[in-house]
Amino acid sequence: MNGKTLTSETLTAETLSKIDAYWRAANYLSVGQLYLFDNPLLKRPLALSDVKPMLLGHWGTTPGQNFVYAHLNRAIKKYDLDMIYVSGPGHGGPAVVGNTYLEGTYSEVYPEISQDEAGLKRLFKQFSFPGGIPSHASPECPGSIHEGGELGYSLSHAFGAVFDNPELIVACVVGDGEAETGPLATAWHSNKFVDPATDGAVLPILHLNGYKIANPTILARIPREELEQLLSGYGWQPIFVSGHEPALMHEAMATGLDQCIEQVQRIRHEARVNGNRERPRWPMIVLDSPKGWTGPRVVDGQQIEGTFRAHQIPVSKPATHPGHLALLEEWLRSYRPEELFDARGRLLPELAELAPKGERRMGANPHANGGLLLHDLQLPDFRDYAVEVPTPGIAGIGDTRVLGPFLRDVARENESTRNFRVFGPDETLSNGLGALFEATNRQWDATTLPGDEFLAPTGRVVEMLSEHQCEGWLEGYLLTGRHGVFNCYEAFVHIIDSMFNQHAKWLKVSAQLPWRAKIASLNYLLASHVWRQDHNGFTHQDPGFIDHVANKKAEVVRVYLPPDANCLLSVMDHCLRSRHYVNVVVAGKHPAPQWLSMDEAAAHCAAGAGIWPWASNDQGADPDVVMACCGDVPTLETLAAVSILREHLPDLKVRVVNVVDLMKLQPASEHPHGLADDAFDALFTVDKPVIFAFHAYPSLVHKLTYRRTNHRNIHVRGYKEEGTITTPFDMTVLNDIDRFHLVIDTIARVPQTGERGLQLQRTLGEKLREHRRYINEHGQDLPEIRNWKWSLA
Ligand SMILES: Cc1ncc(C[n+]2csc(CCOP(=O)(O)OP(=O)(O)O)c2C)c(N)n1
Ligand 1 centre and the CA of 244: distance in Å? 22
Question: Which numbered atom of ligand 1 lies nearest the CA of 152?
Answer: 1
Best residue among 66, 136, 151 to mutate for probing ligand 1's pocket (most ligand atoms within 8 Å of CB) is 151
Residues with CB under 6 A from ligand 1: 60-61, 89, 91, 150-152, 175-178, 181, 207, 209, 211-213, 217, 291, 311
Question: Which numbered atom of ligand 1 lies nearest the CA of 148?
Answer: 25
Ligand 1 centre and the CA of 48: distance in Å? 30
Ligand 1 centre and the CA of 291: distance in Å? 13
Best residue among 62, 66, 213 to mutate for probing ligand 1's pocket (most ligand atoms within 8 Å of CB) is 213
CA 431 to chain centre: 20
5: pLDDT confidence band, cut at 50, 70 and 90?
Answer: very low
321-325, 420-424, 534-538, range with greatest mean pLDDT: 420-424
Question: Which numbered atom of ligand 1 lies nearest the CA of 175?
Answer: 15
The residue among 385, 474, 374 whose CA lies nearest residue 421 is 474
Residue 592: is its pLDDT beyond 60? yes
The 10s digit of each residue's pLDDT in 776-788 is 999 999 999 999 9
Ligand 1 centre and the CA of 91: distance in Å? 8
CA distance 164 to 425: 20
Best residue among 87, 212, 288, 312 to mutate for probing ligand 1's pocket (most ligand atoms within 8 Å of CB) is 212
* Beta strand pairing call for 625-630 and 442-443: unpaired
CA distance 497 to 468: 10
pTM: 0.97
Task: Write down the mean pLDDT value for the chain.
Answer: 96
Residue 113: is its pLDDT beyond 80? yes
Alpha-carbon separation of residue 237 from 205, 343, 394, 427, 573 (angstroms): 12, 46, 58, 31, 43
Residue 4: is its pLDDT beyond 60? no
CA distance 507 to 475: 11
At 8 the pLDDT is 52
Q: Is 40 exposed, middle or buried (0-12, 13-18, 19+ CB in 10 A)?
A: buried
Identify the sign of the CA torsion 680, 684, 690, 693: negative
Ligand 1 centre and the CA of 295: distance in Å? 19
Instruction: Enumerate the β-bridge partners of residue 378.
Output: none
Question: Which numbered atom of ligand 1 lies nearest the CA of 88?
Answer: 15
The 10s digit of each residue's pLDDT in 133-191 is 999 999 999 999 999 999 999 999 999 999 999 999 999 999 999 999 999 999 999 99
Residue 620: is its pLDDT beyond 90? no
CA distance 566 to 583: 18
The 10s digit of each residue's pLDDT in 52-97 is 999 999 999 999 999 999 999 999 999 999 999 999 999 999 999 9
Q: Any residues with CB less than 8 A from the CB of 401 and at least 6 apart, and which?
A: 432, 434, 435, 565, 589
CA distance 361 to 348: 18
How many percent of the chain have pLDDT more than 90? 96
CA distance 50 to 39: 6
User: Which residue has the least CA distance to atom 14 on ligand 1?
Assistant: 177
The 10s digit of each residue's pLDDT in 330-388 is 999 999 999 999 999 999 999 999 999 999 999 999 999 999 999 999 999 999 999 99
User: Which residue has the least CA distance to atom 11 on ligand 1?
Assistant: 212
DSSP letter string, 634-658: HHHHHHHHHHHHHHH-TTS-EEEEE
At 533 the pLDDT is 77
The residue among 491, 499, 525 whose CA lies nearest residue 721 is 491
Q: Any residues with CB less than 8 A from the CB of 32 and at least 6 apart, and which?
A: 40, 120, 123, 124, 332
Per DSSP, the three-state class of 385 is: helix
User: Which residue has the least CA distance to atom 21 on ligand 1?
Assistant: 61
What backbone torsions phi and psi does residue 526 show, to the nearest 5 degrees? -100, 100
CA distance 582 to 563: 20
Ligand 1 centre and the CA of 749: distance in Å? 54
Mean pLDDT of the region 637-666: 97
Question: Which numbered atom of ligand 1 lies nearest the CA of 498?
Answer: 1
Question: Which numbered atom of ligand 1 lies nearest the CA of 150?
Answer: 26
For the ranges 220-224, 251-255, 286-290, 668-672, the lowest mean pLDDT is seen at: 668-672
